[in-house]
């Protein structure tokens, strides 16, 4: 579904049926403890970019709202990724763990 920032995200939910106006981020709602969501968080959220770059079925995302030291008044979403197939934390969610989807042999460098 399209977020208030204009990007597609599978975790964003909006119910506008018959005059309703209910919006939520299901990624933040599923975190422990549940995080409070605001539409302004969608503008700087990395999740739509991660989902567009990597659609691995084994990667699980968790998110939380943090306040960076640089700007203590602005809240941002911090995302952690975990691969269920390789059982490891994914450092670069846009790229993946490197074991689920190996590069084809044509892209390997031969010496």
What tokens were used for 53? 């770059």
pLDDT for the residue numbered 108 = 74
Regarding pTM above 0.85, the answer is no
Is 48 strand, coil or helix? helix
Please choose, from the candidates 44, 79, 48, the residue with its C-alpha nearest in 3D space to the C-alpha of residue 63: 79
Cβ contacts of 78 within 8 Å, gap of 6 or more: 63, 64, 65, 66
Residues of the chain with pLDDT under 50: none
Displacement of CA 9 from its chain's centroid (Å):
8
What is the Cα 111 distance to its own chain's centre? 38
**pLDDT for the residue 103:** 72
pLDDT of residue 68: 80
């Amino acid at each position: 579904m399209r977020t208030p920032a204009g990007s597609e995200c599978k975790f964003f939910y909006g119910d506008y049926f018959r005059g309703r106006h209910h919006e939520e981020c299901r990624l933040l709602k599923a975190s422990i403890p549940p995080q409070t969501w605001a539409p302004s968080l969608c503008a700087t959220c990395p999740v739509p970019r991660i989902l567009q770059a990597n659609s691995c079925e084994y990667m699980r995302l968790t998110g939380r709202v943090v306040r960076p030291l640089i700007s203590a008044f602005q809240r941002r979403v911090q995302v952690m990724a975990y691969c269920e197939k390789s059982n490891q934390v994914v450092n670069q969610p846009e790229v993946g763990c490197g074991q689920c989807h190996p590069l084809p042999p044509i892209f390997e460098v031969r010496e």
